[in-house]
Amino acid sequence: MATSSSTPAPTAHPLPSYLQAEHLGPWGIFLQQVDRVEPYLGNLARWVETLKRPKRILVVDVPIHLDDGRIAHFEGYRVQHNTSRGPGKGGVRFHQDVTLSEVMALSAWMSIKNAAVNVPYGGAKGGIRVDPKTLSRGELERMTRRYTSEIGIIIGPTKDIPAPDVNTNEQIMAWMMDTYSMNQGSTATGVVTGKPVDLGGSLGRREATGRGVFTVGAEAAKRIGLDVAKAAVAVQGFGNVGGIAGKLFAEAGARVVAVQDHGGAIYREAGLDVPSLLKHVAEKGTVAGFEHAEAMEADKFWDVPCDIMIPAALEQQITKANAHRIQARMVIEGANGPTTPEADDILHERNVLVLPDVIANAGGVTVSYFEWVQDFSSFFWDEDEINKRLVRVMQQAFAGVWQVAEQHKVSLRTATFIVACERILHTRELRGLYP
């Protein structure tokens, strides 16, 4: 029996308790974001429940022998939020605070991000609740390999393709690829992306997220009449994403006036020497102690006079406590989920343009897609070609989102969700339900 979009499905059940938002944790924030776009989805809204229920959740026990002979158990997760548009795709995070709710939300944001830049993937994410700094290299390898074996029943080059995220890197991807390949009996480079270049990785992948941040920032700046070459930029987090984005803004003539990281904050009104700062961070692990700048109290970072602010560290950094202090005209979310919903509303009211994570940091997954394509064809492109294609994808995606934001008079976050949810639910409708 057909169900019209206006009548509730006769079999509708409330979401099971573990899918409900008891408090506004990451999954609760995602559900709220979906509720905001539902009115714009027209007839596709009848499929919206699809987005509120991850397709598949796997929780695994990861036991390993520690170096001292004891046995330790870690909890691991892999969540495939949606695979309507293609295989699951998303990183693996090793962190002591990882929770199932967080991994569910991150997997859902991957569905949105992948659809927003129109790469043929669904969304997935994984993680282990562990502080990897407490493990030796051998313990880290054993944990990574056992986790890969445990989730091996649902990942694969055409099923779900992990990648690096917080505290995971090229080496961990190499161990994951090797473990999966050993279990399969043949080398399967396409099972993960973000691998070392010598093992089927892609040129340009390491810089891709920062390059994407810069590209959408430059596009948005043009539209609001902000001259990047004269802009003052403040960056939180000077690692892979923030460091590269800062470098590219500086190369475009902008002044990077302030940087904050886990070790402290620094300021120089005339602009920091970014190549020297990157060298300092590579040696010392933090921006703190950089001698060609003034040290600043970490919290003062949010008051710095600037045109562009780039949060590129952790979740929930811009909150109702500091959103009213931000002086920038534009916030580019390099990190995932750096702005809380209340802070988002405050910035919107204050006319600060927020370029949301689901489009702003999608450069990484875009080049991951290029890596996967190169692995399948065993034909590798040069870096110039990769960067050109990346810029084209980001510019096109951003132009589409901008147009939808203007059409519906909504924020860029809601516009990105509208574009992405329409794409996901359209493919859901085309595929229909099996059986």
Catalytic residue positions, numbered = 125
Let me know: does 361 contact 413? Beta carbons within 8 Å: no
From 312, 332, 354, 355, residue interacting with ligand NAD (rule: CB under 6 A): 312
Residues 226-255 that bind ligand NAD (CB under 6 A): 236-242
Q: Which lies closer to ligand NAD via its Cβ, residue 148 or residue 236? A: 236
At residue 308, what are phi and psi to the nearest 5 degrees?
-130, 130
Q: In angstroms, rounded to a whole number, what is the distance separating the alpha carbons of residues 267 and 292? A: 9
Cα–Cα distances (Å) from 411 to 312, 405, 416, in that order, read 20, 6, 9
Give the span between the Cα atoms of 354 and 347, in whole angstroms: 8
Helical (H) or strand (E) element with 145: helix 137-151
Residue 313 contacts ligand NAD per CB under 6 A: yes
Residue 278 lies near ligand NAD (rule: CB under 6 A): no
Residue 406 CB, nearest approach to ligand NAD (Å): 26
Whose Cβ is closer to ligand NAD: residue 160's or residue 315's?
Answer: 315
Closer Cβ to ligand NAD, 196 or 239, answer by number: 239
Is the Cβ of residue 201 or residue 410 nearer to ligand NAD in the bound state?
A: 201
Contact 269, 294 (CB under 8 A): no
Q: Which residue is nearest to ligand NAD (CB)?
A: 239
Residues 108-147 that bind ligand NAD (CB under 6 A): none
Question: Tokens representing 19?
Answer: 């899918």
Question: Does the footprint of ligand NAD cover residue 107 (CB under 6 A)?
Answer: no
Comparing CB distances to ligand NAD, the nearer of 50 and 118 is: 118
Q: Least separation, in Å, of the C-beta of 246 and ligand NAD?
A: 10
Q: How far apart are the first and last CA of the chain?
A: 15
Cα–Cα distance, 21 to 25 (Å, whole number): 7
- Please classify residue 164 by burial: count the beta carbons closer than 10 Å to its beta carbon, then call 0-12 exposed, 13-18 middle and 19+ buried: buried
For residues 121 and 369, the answer to whether their CB atoms sit within 8 Å is: yes
Phi/psi at 111 (5° precision):
-60, -45
Q: Which of 122, 204, 334, 356 binds ligand NAD (CB under 6 A)?
A: 334
Residues 206-225 contacting ligand NAD, CB under 6 A: 209
CB of 336 to ligand NAD, least distance (A): 4
- Considering only 108, 115, 166, 176, the residue that binds ligand NAD (CB under 6 A) is 166
Tell which one of 50, 260, 340, 414 touches ligand NAD (CB under 6 A): 260
Options 19, 197, 314, 373; binder of ligand NAD; rule CB under 6 A: 314
Maximum distance among all Cα pairs of the chain, rounded to whole angstroms: 71
Per-position x/- string for 58-97, each x denoting binding to ligand NAD as judged by CB under 6 A, each - no binding = ----------------------------------------
Judged by CB under 6 A, the chain residues 344 through 373 that form the site for ligand NAD are 361, 364
Cα→Cα distances 75→56, 124, 126, 131, 343, Å: 17, 17, 11, 12, 32
Residues that bind ligand NAD (CB under 6 A): 165-166, 209, 236-242, 260-262, 312-314, 334-336, 361, 364
